[in-house]
Structure 1
Amino acid sequence: MSAVSPLYFCRALFLSDLHLGSKDCKADYLLDLLAQVRPEQLFLVGDVIDLWSLKRQPYWPESHQAVLVALRALAQRGTRVMYIPGNHDAALREFVGSQLLGVELQEEWVYTTAQGKRLLLIHGDQFDGAVMVGRFTSWLGDRGYDLLLWLNRWSHYGRRRIGLSYWSLASFLKHRVQLAQQAVERFVRAAVHEARERGLDGIVCGHIHAPDLRSQAGLLYCNTGDWVENCTALLEQRDGQLTLLHWSEVQRQLAVHQQPSAA
């Protein structure tokens, strides 16, 4: 990692799909982000701990524990930390409405930005029915994604061995598969429809590992992405401007996508 930058203070930080407990979690990059960003509020929008992966094969390296320690330290320093469980950590949904180590657990949340935009915070697995196109296709997709992550893991390992920066092979391939892109667009439409039905200005979600920040049918669609393929997060600056961050060795920056103008 490069030299540590000055602390960046912001109004809110939104993270999802950390998948701690999975071999594919990019915990080192996440720790670097958490060391440099000081949010007033931190929202964990699901799949923070990958209970599915831990059930298949126990895996909990020191870096994954360090992420939990860093999250707890933020809460102790005064950051409001809210955890909205996803499908991979759904077992925690039975604790919604309570606090664990200073972290609030909620099923979902309506967040108001500094610009007055009311956004639904939800993981996104609730929209799976709009994305799935059949049981066999779903099964094939799960197996194909496991293969993509395996290839991505070894690509990252090989690039590090020869001194190259992180690059997501999985994301590169997904963007070139038409069926994958069609599934993403169905998900976006379902998410925006849900926000519209509730009379809100937009939605913040994760789940599909496809970072995005756009105006869709007049509403704001924000997908925080993940820390398995993309190493992305959504940040709200103090003036209410939203930014999608990409955090790796050479792409560590505060301006990947800026909040779009209202359509």
Structure 2
Amino acid sequence: MNAQFRALDLEEVRKSISKLDKFVGPSGSPRRRYRTIWISDIHLGTRGCNDRMLIDFLDHVDSDTLYLVGDIIDGWRMKKRYYWPERHNAIVRRIMKRAKRGTEVVYIPGNHDEMFRQYAGMNFGGVQIRRSAVHVTADGRRLLVLHGDEFDAVVMAHRWLAFAGDAAYEFLMKLNVVVNAVRRRFDLPYWSLSKHAKHKVKNAVEFISRFEEAVAHEAKTRRVDGVVCGHIHTAEERRFGDIVYYNDGDWVEGCTALVEHFDGRMEILHWADEIAARTPKHHLRAVA
């Protein structure tokens, strides 16, 4: 009888620990809960994807709703060469697990994963596929959610140039991996070479500004209060008159996410900075 009671007590302890684990991330930091999370431009299937950092993010945050705002899987690159490490499976499993346990997951394919657009309106394992969506925040604002490639004149009008640009960008991403491998050896935090280059090149800055204006104009045309998009790998919050423009960034260069707090307040999370703030220097190389 005593042995039976000890077995029951042990089971209760295990259940308690299991419940506790849900509130603590792998680093020991409390898991944060948000009303909504937006992430995009993960580019699974490429070496440029910061998969370790994204896994760390997913293991430290939760939300009622998760928007996947396009370019989650990079179909363009996978047509040329196959690359799919176990960490990319781990990311997919984490997303599917959220959908299974009740998180509303909305997937809005982009231009790199456009093969999934034909399934718009369907539901796969709890993941809703949409061409676009309108999200209502806790404080009553209506936000148009779309990937954004619709407003990229290069992608729409000169598809061959988009593929050429993608090849050049792939080279820059490979260089970015090498640069950060060296930085890890010296216990330096993650730094994006390509992001730095974009901010230094005048034409890139002008393109980003025109893109943001075009997306904000579309939001005004659709009579919503704001817009959330991805596509250009530049996290941003800007106001154009009555319209608020949000870009959730990417998980190749900036490693950022857009989140909505339960009072409707919006915030851009820079996850590389979050890791650097809580990780001792000699452990940075294991995460970045």
TM-score, normalised with respect to structure 2: 0.82
1:96 paired residue number: 120
Distance 1:63 1:140, change over 3 A: closer
The answer to whether the aligner puts 1:38 opposite 2:48 as a matched pair is no
Offset at 1:76? 1.6
Offset at 1:120? 0.6
The answer to whether the aligner puts 1:13 opposite 2:37 as a matched pair is yes
Work out the CA distance in 2 between the residues paired with 1:198 and 1:206: 18
Which of 215, 226, 230 pairs up with 2:254?
230
Work out the CA distance in 1 between the residues paired with 2:51 and 2:94: 11
2:219 paired residue number: 195
Q: Give identity over the alignment, percent.
A: 44
Letter in 1 for 2:254: N
Letter in 1 for 2:72: V
Work out the CA distance in 2 between the residues paired with 1:157 and 1:22: 16
Deviates more, 1:128-137 or 1:61-70: 128-137
Which of 61, 79, 82 pairs up with 2:85?
61
Distance 1:190 1:113, change over 3 A: same
Alpha-carbon contact 2:36-2:64 (below 8 Å) kept: yes
TM-score, normalised with respect to structure 1: 0.90
2:194 paired residue number: 170
Which of 171, 177, 183 pairs up with 1:159?
183
Point out the structure with the larger strand share.
Answer: 1
Instruction: Determine helix, strand or coil for the equivalent of 2:276.
Output: coil
Offset at 1:218? 2.5
Offset at 1:162? 2.4
Letter in 2 for 1:171: K
Distance 1:69 1:201, change over 3 A: same
Work out the CA distance in 2 between the residues paired with 1:140 and 1:62: 29
The answer to whether the aligner puts 1:208 opposite 2:232 as a matched pair is yes
The answer to whether the aligner puts 1:76 opposite 2:100 as a matched pair is yes
Alpha-carbon contact 1:52-1:88 (below 8 Å) kept: yes
The answer to whether the aligner puts 1:250 opposite 2:276 as a matched pair is yes
The answer to whether the aligner puts 1:120 opposite 2:120 as a matched pair is no
Distance 1:250 1:98, change over 3 A: same
Alpha-carbon contact 1:12-1:235 (below 8 Å) kept: yes
Distance 1:17 1:97, change over 3 A: same
Work out the CA distance in 2 between the residues paired with 1:39 and 1:106: 19
Distance 1:61 1:165, change over 3 A: same
Q: Flag structure 1 segments of 5+ consecutive residues without an equivalent.
A: 253-263
Point out the structure with the larger helix share.
Answer: 2
Alpha-carbon contact 2:136-2:143 (below 8 Å) kept: yes
The number of equivalent residue pairs is 252
Distance 1:131 1:115, change over 3 A: farther
Instruction: Determine helix, strand or coil for the equivalent of 1:250.
Output: helix
